[in-house]
Amino acid sequence: VYMGGVLAGAFIFGSLSDRFGRRNLLLISYLLMAVSGTCTAFSSTFSLFCLFRFGCGMALSGLVLNSFSLIVEWIPTRVRTVTGTMTGYCYTVGQLILAAVAYFIRDWRWLTLTVSLPFYAFFLFSWWFHESARWLALKNKSEEA
């Protein structure tokens, strides 16, 4: 179910980010991840659990696609390879941290809630991100770029 959400999110967020901007879709993805994760922790039926996990998968696609696009479009060409590699390492370290957190928080509801709550802070923090100058230029918003 989760990976189905990842697949659906790749199609949806990939095309929408070209239309509405990477920053806007990143904001939506952070909020979707926070709300879906929180609702997963409080889901009372298996159907609701699956629905909210699907939402988390969609949000993950939006986060990965749009954050990576913004990072690559913000930095100079000469350091893109190193930055892309470092971004991949950050995801790996995040998975290791998740494993450690899951070792100490054994209840799945508390674990899901613990993992989803920081996304509310990420959502608030991401309001200060700038839109990609490349996307603004492609949308004929050269003054903002």
Name the burial class of residue 61, with classes exposed (0-12), middle (13-18) and buried (19+) by CB atoms within 10 angstroms of its CB. Answer: buried
132 domain residue, yes or no: yes
Q: According to the model, what pLDDT value does residue 145 have?
A: 58
Please name which of 39, 51, 28 lies closest in space to residue 117, comparing C-alpha atoms: 39
What is the mean pLDDT for each group of 10 consecutive residues in the chain (145 residues)? Answer: 96 90 93 98 97 98 91 87 90 96 97 97 92 81 69
Instruction: Spell out the residues 6+ positions from residue 99 whose beta carbon is closer than 8 angstroms to its own.
Output: none
User: For the chain, how many structural domains are there in total?
Assistant: 1
The model carries a pTM of 0.88
> Which residue range is the domain that position 62 belongs to?
2-138
Q: According to the model, what pLDDT value does residue 73 have?
A: 85
**What's the CATH number where 15 sits?**
1.20.1250.20
